[in-house]
Structure 1
Amino acid sequence: MKLCNKNNFILGFILAVCCFLNTLSAQNLDSKIDPLIRNEIKDPNGPGAAFLIAKKGEILYQKSFGKANIELNVDLGSEFVFQLGSMTKQFTAIAILMLEEQGKLKTHDLVSKYILDYPSGDKITLHHLLTHTSGIKDFTKMKSLRDIAQKEMSPKMMVDFFKNEPVDFAPGEKFDYNNSGYILLGHIIELVSGETYEDFIEKNIFQKIGMNQSCFATDRQIISKRAYGYQKKESGYVNKTVINYSVPFSSGALMSTLNDMLKWQNALNTNQLISAETAKKAFSKYKLNNGEEFKYGYGWHIRDINGIATREHGGSIFGYKTMGVYVPSLDVYVLGFTNCDCISPTQLTQDIAKLVLETEAKN
């Protein structure tokens, strides 16, 4: 009995020391990161930002700055819902790979297999769309976009909007970031699954891994804890420009929170949605027709920080900007969301990730 008590005392002491060290580490992280963020988010009464750092699925740092709603003077919290913008592409890419595992499509399939009348569809593969190497016209660069920005568009209408535009280059010839490719992928997800893109993502991803605060974007429905989006003009802050989210669709129309996005990253790490073998497709670099390698997989930029491999992606849509950096070797995830497109979290999130890596190297 005395031995048990002694062992319990030792165990308790070790746990207490660990808790103390974790608290000390968190405090050190706060003292280094808070000044970086406050240097960018200078107006406490304006739109703000929310940041999260996690290691091995556990949150090390989570803070928010500024206002979620300027008119009502509501402070921004870490649980607030933001527009993801192009971080949506991660979900579209994984949905394609899920359908491939189900035997419903293949990434080397030609677009013409699913959309018979698509120009050059007999030369463009789903792989080209996923990797931004298709050469098709990016609809966000078309001047006529303003004519449809507030209209309800079906996926077919969106595809028809840009499909007859001249191509910029032959498939596989160049890497050129392209939103139209991911609209096509969303349309193909609907054709192959027999479900709307919104329903497919909701049922097969959000519900499956408990992303309960994530959804297809809407300005009409009530969204609990919505971070309102703003833009900055010469006269000051204004409410974001209104668009219909059927336009960005599967290239940029999802909403989420920091915590839900951590669930997303954890689900990818533990192969809850696709196998580890299939996931390699998303997280690999690829080559152009001439053999030149480019740093993009399926829905993620494949980069590095000081030689340490990272998977990164940002997003930008009226009123919001987002950025995520994941370091596979250390299982470190850094996220930054802002509710004004006048504040970019991209460099800040990368700088925070770099700081975390430098701290890890010293420990």
Structure 2
Amino acid sequence: MNVLRWGGLILLTVSSVAAQAQDLDPATKAKVENEIRRVMRETGVPSAQVGVARGGKVVYAAAFGEARIAYEGKPSIPATAEMHYAVGSISKQFTAACVLLLQEQGKLKLDDPVGKWFPNLTRANDVTLRMLLTHTSGYSDYAPQDYTIPEWTHTAKPVEVVRKWAGKPLDFEPGTKWQYSNTNFVLAGLIVEKVAGMPFRDFLRENVLTPLKLQEVLDLDYDRAKMEPTGYKRNALGPLRPAIPEAPGWYFADGELSMPVRTLMEWDLSLLNRTLLKPASYDEMFAEQKLKDGTGSHYALGQQTDTRNGRLVLHHSGEIGGFVAQNFWYPKEGVAIGVLTNQDASSAAGLITAAVSQILLPPASASAAAVSDPKATVRGILEAFQKGDIDRSLFTSNANFYFSPQAVGDYRTSLAPLGAIQSLTETRTLLRGGMQMRVYTVVYATKSVSISTYWMPDGKIEQFLLEGQ
């Protein structure tokens, strides 16, 4: 498909898709592509590659929209399924695989302290390699922004990035909290280099990419010029403009890979089929990391763990300047879905992934069906909170973690004095991160409050936050 702009409207016209598309039956294929078209219209993302793997093979790989829009006299270029799109932090899964291979070779252990290789970093003897790969180290993130900052436009040396950011005081005691940090994986990549005695990219290619026959994988620190799509940004609701790319050195081991979506699906098949590592290594790779107090982090080694539509899913997003990616795979069902887009800070990849997941893997049981009356559910939750009660079956594991006994107690003590609800109005609804966001205004006799809620496709509530007005 090509995305055409006319008078501010976005129109989708049909172009060729990959030959693999016929592997989805016609009805399913039509539903999938209708959802892709819908999301592209609603978000204005210039292009997307979409891939599906199931039954042990890639059954769908297609491209939509424009890899390059018409700009300053240059013609547009339609996206194709063979083009290389940045996968951003999905690269972290590949780094985790490198570490696990070295552990299999007896050259390191996940629970080795980073001080074994970098003794001068903060708390180096208390932070382990496993903590790096699960984001529980306490090291600050050198790249939390969703846009390119001036520092990233200058070439960097990964070791200097690590010395600066892992040389600061920790954000928390190692192992006690989860906080996403790209610094962790840069350090992990440097450790791979030291242990393997070769550049990280060479070890990755020789020990992961080549054995798995993963073709057309680019390293953005060296191959950025080979990428065909242009990465874009949008200022507020303005037009698409070329994004500012990061300079070499800022991708190292945490977001450096670019590939066609078919190759990403072949990587997912290697995870589903456990074809590269030993069984024990995959067990470690997919296991949720527990914090020191026993609570779950919802993160394994280089990938998030969650439940969607009543099913276990491992997933990760990725973003670098001008590109956003999403990768979901369901181990029990043997299904993987990947979406690669060329606009930074865009929700399109997540929305497409959620929509395709809903088509291919609808709720696992009738009990997981979407809630029919959200307002009544919200009212019931608020009335229960006033009594100090909570029906945890209504919430996801993330939301249940948030609603600790202390949080439930605070909700009770602050809401009980307000008395009966006078009115409850839904004031806003939109899609957010593959979820339905609903905002409510609740009026009590003496006070009004605002409720921000996120609803999963299966009807579970991921977020329920209250604030005064």
Give the TM-score of the pair, scaled to structure 1. 0.86
Structure 1 unaligned residues grouped into runs of 5+: 1-21
User: Does 2:41 align with 1:33?
Assistant: no
| Cα 1:182–1:220 shift into 2, 3 Å | closer
Q: State the one-letter code of the partner of 2:355.
A: D
Partner of residue 326, structure 2: 323
RMSD, aligned α-carbons:
2.5
Partner of residue 356, structure 1: 360
| Cα 1:220–1:298 shift into 2, 3 Å | closer
SS at match of 2:277: coil
| Cα 1:274–1:46 shift into 2, 3 Å | closer
Q: State the one-letter code of the partner of 1:40.
A: V
Structure 2 unaligned residues grouped into runs of 5+: 1-20, 367-469
Give the TM-score of the pair, scaled to structure 2. 0.68
Partner of residue 229, structure 1: 231
Partner of residue 102, structure 2: 99
| Distance apart, 1:347 and its partner CA | 3.0
| Cα 1:220–1:312 shift into 2, 3 Å | closer
Question: Greater share of helix residues, 1 or 2?
Answer: 1
Q: State the one-letter code of the partner of 1:122.
A: N
Q: State the one-letter code of the partner of 1:199.
A: D
Spell out the pairing of 1:46-125 with structure 2 (5 A cutoff): 47-71=46-70, 72-125=75-128
* Runs ≥4 residues deviating over 4 A: 22-25, 43-46, 218-222, 359-362
Partner of residue 13, structure 1: none
| Distance apart, 1:208 and its partner CA | 2.1
Distance (whole Å) between structure 1 residues aligned to residue 246 and residue 22 of structure 2: 44
| Cα 1:102–1:117 shift into 2, 3 Å | same
Q: State the one-letter code of the partner of 1:324.
A: N
Alignment counterpart, residue 346 of structure 1, candidates 344, 350, 357: 350
Partner of residue 301, structure 1: 304
Distance (whole Å) between structure 2 residues aligned to residue 28 and residue 68 of structure 1: 27
SS at match of 1:286: coil
| Cα 1:43–1:296 shift into 2, 3 Å | closer
Structure 1 window deviating more from structure 2 (303-312 vs 54-63): it is 54-63
| Cα 1:178–1:228 shift into 2, 3 Å | same
Distance (whole Å) between structure 2 residues aligned to residue 50 and residue 221 of structure 1: 18
8 Å Cα contact 1:26/1:61 also seen in 2: no
Distance (whole Å) between structure 2 residues aligned to residue 191 and residue 264 of structure 1: 25
Q: State the one-letter code of the partner of 1:321.
A: V
| Distance apart, 1:358 and its partner CA | 2.0
Larger radius of gyration: 2
Distance (whole Å) between structure 1 residues aligned to residue 328 and residue 122 of structure 2: 36
Percentage of pairs with the same residue = 26
Distance (whole Å) between structure 1 residues aligned to residue 144 and residue 26 of structure 2: 45
User: Does 2:125 align with 1:126?
Assistant: no
| Distance apart, 1:136 and its partner CA | 1.0
After superposition, what is the alpha-carbon deviation per residue over 1:292-345, rounded to whole angstroms, capped at 9, x for unaligned? Answer: 122111011111112211111110111000001101111101111101115321
Distance (whole Å) between structure 1 residues aligned to residue 321 and residue 255 of structure 2: 11
Partner of residue 4, structure 1: none
| Cα 1:195–1:219 shift into 2, 3 Å | closer
How many residue pairs get aligned? The number is 338
Distance (whole Å) between structure 1 residues aligned to residue 25 and residue 48 of structure 2: 19
